[in-house]
Structure 1
Amino acid sequence: MRKEIIAIIIVVLAIAAGILILIFLNDFNGSRQNSPSLSPSPSPGLNLGENLTGLPLKIADGFSISIFAQNLKDARDMAFDSMGNLWVSRPDEGVITLIEIENGRAARQNDVLRNLNKPHGLAFDPDTPNLLYFAEENKISKIPLYSDAPPQKLVDLPSGGRHITRSLIFGADKRLYVSIGSSCDVCVESDKRRGTIYSMNPDGSDFKEFASGLRNSVFMALNPETEEIWATEMGRDFLGDNLPPDEINIIKSGKNYGWPYCYGQRIVDSRFENTGEQICPATEKARLEIPAHSAPLGLAFSPLNSNWPKEYRNSLFVAYHGSWNRNEPADYKIARFSLNGGEQTDFISGWLGSDGKVYGRPADILIADKGDAYISDDYSGKIYQVRFINQTERTTNSVFFEKQS
């Protein structure tokens, strides 16, 4: 009899313990489902994604950001070659660096081209993908990759002055385009090549002006749907915190974009009131206006063939390098513009801390065909990788990040 009573007590205790375990697990899972780091956002632009960098960054829901490569002081322009390796210009170091990629990871990095004069723009010839074109402050050259051949100079460029970066892009017409910044903040240039975009054949012939009135269009990108060249444009300084707006322009043959006489929507610069009233009505208006002194640099369009959410289609992503002369520094981030409606949202932010501490300054953004994005940071010497992740990956990575933070 005593043994039977003991057996009954054991069974009752086991059942009670099982019930308590089920209650605990239910509460635990419920608390995790209510965790902000796992809650999906109903719309893009909300900063609920996964940050695996160790920096106080915020990224839109459904995306992750991690450090892809580092120890790359002054990393700026980026370009992938036909072997899937990444090339990075580093103007202040005078080098162009090769990052060899294996299994999706940066395996090795090597300064292949050295002793250059402020190298910046990089581009690959679509018809000869093993040829790297690169722009130094004073010239454009090309070189066959993975060979002992020396660079071949194609054209000379004006040098000196305030803006020394030269950017490159191949257009849909297979011509090579180069942006040449102004020599000053605001002035009438004596060298008509300054403040322009020129184009040429891949062999350097037929070098001619394509568009003018562009103070400093540091980066350009090709719209994959329209095949138009879009360019960022940094407005002049010393008109206060809120003027003039920085710009995104669609670059068209023979068009004048207003600098130095006007900006934005053909607003006449106060320094050139008389001349501006005559010139500005015939200039091109900005396609998009950006808050003054945001310093827009790299730009990239959303990939056409990727697993990104449909609401991100027909979007433009712009790297805001951030202000240097505003009373309150602003805009060290990646912004997203919906080209359907024009609204702007933050895609990645946090490089400028709430206490004013600078953690980085995004420079270029490059989005590969399958959707992985890469962002260079010339302040911290890093390259970040951004990926769209599905729900399973999001849950796994969020648990990892919670353990790291």
Structure 2
Amino acid sequence: MAIAALMPSTFAQTCATINPAQAPTFASGYSGRVVMNGLKTPRGIIFDTAGNILTAEQGSYGVRWIQLTDNGGTNVCVKTSKQLISDTSINHGIALTPDGKTLFVSSLTTVWSWTYDAATGAVSNKKTVIQNMRNGGFHLTRTLLVPKANPNVLLVQRGSDGNIDTAAAQIGTARSQIRIFKISEIQATPVDYTVGEVLGWGLRNTVGFGEDPRGGIWSVDNGVDDMQRGGRDIHQTNPCEEMNYHGLINDTASPERGKHYGYPECFAVWDPSVIPNGANLKVGTPFVIGTPSGQNTDEMCQARMAPKLCFPSHTAPLDIKFNANGTAAYIPFHGSWNRQQPDGFRLARVTFNPATGVPTEPSTSTTAAQNIMYNANNAGCPNRCFRPVNLAWDPKGRLFMTSDTTNEIWIIGGAS
């Protein structure tokens, strides 16, 4: 009888299985399960200090607060959820200060802040902090990051206003850039985006950026569509999607600080075999779009900042998150629309050397991103497959991921 009385407490509770909209394939050692579905185009995802999920949902929703039931490992499910902020203009960016008390969320035009209470899941004291970021019809997201190495600043990304935004060649347009804002200043008085310090520019559409354990800032950039070179269409396999480095956030003398990364004139090679007069070009080498002439030459491009790594064209990396010891970065590839054979639609791992803080593979590598979660067949993509968007580590060091096409949040087993 004593044994029988103990039996209910010795068996761990199990979350109900949620069948995925489209079942993915996992690499050896990895697994995953759906934590929640039925969301409204989830994009940005973060955890608060109490272990609750906050998502920015692009489907005319706003911000959702999700409290979890945690049975250990990937056995995690939703205890309760609610709409934290109702705002149909919220479309991607979300960030918390490391103390968990100030929440930032973005739209096409604006960044707002709220005072946030993790214990009750409540916000108050809404403020406009950054404004006037509107683009015409392109690249509408504004990714946000409060670095752990410097919790006094907010990084804000803004993409180009067009496939080739010629005006972005002028730094004063404040497009295709990442800028730095002092939180104390923007909390006191709202500012225009042009006021921020330039961390990097010439970044076509850097939807994803993150911080390594040393305080280094890394980004992933989406290359140009429909690329031509010397009158030849090379867009099926060029340019590459870039992984760029922007230096230590606390090192204002960093050689990467405020530098130009090439756009709109320059991109990096993925497939040199199809590039006219490309005998001297290798994977990752910056080169000029169109026909080289005058000052617009490959040499001009190579004088600007080159990517640290390249990924296949049009795979659309949208985030980069480092593990705690700096041995790996995880990158979700949202997937292509601008190539005949769909590509992307996967979660990948890039190995880093924690002693040096750089990838173990050289910049010329075509195998640096190792797929850990992917669609077995991309033929049904983008509408009939999972499309990863954003990543977040929970307080226990487990990796979570949003998929916007399937309206899901996943937990990924084996990621570390």
Question: Partner residue of 2:346?
Answer: 333
Unaligned runs of 5+ in 1: 1-50, 305-312, 390-405
Question: Partner residue of 1:58?
Answer: 25
Aligned positions, number: 329
1:261 corresponds to 2:265: yes
1:223 Cα deviation from its structure 2 partner? 0.7
1:160 corresponds to 2:154: no
Structure with the higher fraction of residues in strand conformation: 2
Cα gap change, 1:271/1:188 in structure 2, threshold over 3 Å: closer, same or farther?
Answer: farther
Residue 347 of structure 1: which of 372, 377, 381 is its match? 372
Residue 95 of structure 1: which of 62, 65, 73 is its match? 62
Q: Percent identity?
A: 22
Whole-angstrom distance in 2 between the partners of 1:271 and 1:88: 44
Larger Rg: 1
Q: Mean Cα displacement is larger for which, 330-339 or 139-148?
A: 139-148
Whole-angstrom distance in 2 between the partners of 1:181 and 1:237: 14
The answer to whether the 8 Å contact 1:163/1:216 transfers is yes
Whole-angstrom distance in 1 between the partners of 2:218 and 2:376: 25
**TM-score, length-normalised on structure 2?**
0.74
The answer to whether the 8 Å contact 2:65/2:83 transfers is yes
Cα gap change, 1:170/1:218 in structure 2, threshold over 3 Å: closer, same or farther?
Answer: same
1:199 corresponds to 2:219: no
Whole-angstrom distance in 2 between the partners of 1:234 and 1:74: 20
What pairs up with 1:29-44 in 2 under 5 angstroms? none
What pairs up with 1:1-400 in 2 under 5 angstroms? 53=20, 55-103=22-70, 104-126=76-98, 128-146=99-117, 147=122, 149-161=124-136, 162-171=138-147, 172-174=149-151, 175-189=153-167, 192-205=173-186, 207-224=196-213, 226-239=214-227, 240-251=235-246, 252-264=256-268, 265-270=285-290, 273-277=293-297, 279-304=300-325, 314-340=327-353, 341-342=360-361, 343-350=368-375, 352-353=377-378, 358-388=384-414
Whole-angstrom distance in 1 between the partners of 2:132 and 2:150: 22
The answer to whether the 8 Å contact 1:303/1:370 transfers is no
SS in 1 for 2:108: coil
Question: Partner residue of 1:4?
Answer: none
Whole-angstrom distance in 1 between the partners of 2:215 and 2:386: 32
Q: Mean Cα displacement is larger for which, 103-112 or 314-323?
A: 103-112
1:122 Cα deviation from its structure 2 partner? 1.0
Cα gap change, 1:204/1:121 in structure 2, threshold over 3 Å: closer, same or farther?
Answer: farther
Whole-angstrom distance in 2 between the partners of 1:204 and 1:90: 28
Structure with the higher fraction of residues in helix conformation: 1
Whole-angstrom distance in 2 between the partners of 1:283 and 1:68: 43
Deviations 1:325-345 (A, max 9, x none): 211111210111122432332
Deviations 1:204-237 (A, max 9, x none): 446222211001000111011x311111100000
1:102 Cα deviation from its structure 2 partner? 3.0
**TM-score, length-normalised on structure 1?**
0.76
Deviations 1:334-366 (A, max 9, x none): 111122432332111117545667222111122
SS in 2 for 1:77: strand
Cα gap change, 1:355/1:361 in structure 2, threshold over 3 Å: closer, same or farther?
Answer: closer
Whole-angstrom distance in 2 between the partners of 1:68 and 1:358: 19
1:388 Cα deviation from its structure 2 partner? 2.7
Which amino acid in the other structure matches residue 159 of structure 2?
Answer: G
Whole-angstrom distance in 2 between the partners of 1:139 and 1:272: 38
